[in-house]
Amino acid sequence: MQRRSDKKAIRRIWLTWILAIVLLISTLLAVLQLGAVYTMKSWQHWTPNYAKENLQPVLEKQTLTEEDYELLRRQTGLTKIGVDGLLESGNIGRIYALQELFFTPPELEITHYTAFTYVEYMRQSLTFANLEEGDIVLSATTYTSGFRHGHAALVVNDAYPLILESYAPGMSSGISSLQGSMGKMANVLVLRPKCDKAVRAEVARRAKAELVGLPFSITVGVLSPKFADELQATQCAHLVWYAYKKYANIDLDGNGGAVIKPQDIFLSDQVEVVQFYGFDPDRLWS
């Protein structure tokens, strides 16, 4: 009789532990999902709250002033670098197209990518400035639960253009079409490292040849070295950082932490903005 009572007591203890574990896991999952909802609602896609202006008088000038460049920046999202690149290549029409896109509120949709990870897309496609090999494209649209980590990629071919990216767990780093991968993300920043064009092109060339096929690891810099001569795994921002550190000895980490995030690259004093979309021009990704 005593043995039967002991068995029942042990069974009750096990059931209590199982219920406690189930409750703990359910609570954790609920918190992670609530974090995702909070992160989604805490970010607002930016569109201008000021008037759209006629750019023709400015774009017909032979020489632009600082005031002209500032007007174009606030009307199109192009900085002086972006404006000059399009003017020099005769792509004035793309400047007008960028202004139209800049002032058109996008139709947004949120895509569930992996567990508790979401990406904010829009139905229309982005128009980009003239990109060069070695340019960097960032977006703040990707978030996991309560952490808006964003995404980063390196332009390795300016003709299409093509990017090198490390996209998600279970996927190896690889070459993608910029338009196909990031062309509908609800915000973007295009950056250009402050080094010679030939240096940027060499970084892109070597990255394309040597950094494809690396496993994704969110813990690089924590459970594995941030920098190693033979890289074993990477993640999106780390891949961009590593390429410039390895092939040009340029450190693009804006805060010097163990883990490199897309925003850290934006905050680096070694880059300058070419183009932005969906970000407040007075704050960008601050």
List b or e across 216-251, with b for residues whose CB sees 16 or more CB atoms inside 10 angstroms.
Answer: bbbebbeeeebeeeebebbbbbbbbbbbbbbbbebe
Sequential pLDDT tens for the chain (286 residues): 555 565 566 666 666 665 545 444 444 444 444 444 444 555 667 899 999 999 999 999 999 999 999 999 999 999 999 999 999 999 999 999 999 999 999 988 877 666 657 888 899 999 999 999 999 999 998 877 556 778 999 999 988 899 999 988 889 999 999 999 999 999 999 999 999 999 999 999 999 999 999 999 989 999 999 999 999 999 999 999 999 999 999 999 999 899 999 999 999 999 999 999 999 999 998 7
Sketch the domain layout of the chain as residue ranges: 1-42, 110-277
Answer yes or no: are the C-beta atoms of 70 and 58 closer than 8 Å: no
**Is the domain defined by 110-277 classed in CATH 3.90.1720.10?**
yes
Q: What is the rounded CA–CA span in Å between residue 175 and residue 150? A: 18
249-254 contacts at long range (C-beta below 8 A, 24 or more positions apart): 250/193, 250/195, 252/136, 252/193
Find, among 88, 213, 190, 212, the residue nearest to 133 by Cα.
Answer: 190
Say what the pTM is.
Answer: 0.85
pLDDT score recorded for residue 116: 59
The pLDDT of residue 117 is 74
What burial class does residue 201 get, using C-beta atoms within 10 Å of its C-beta: 0-12 exposed, 13-18 middle, 19+ buried?
Answer: middle
Q: Judge contact between 210 and 225, C-beta under 8 A.
A: no
pLDDT at 118: 82
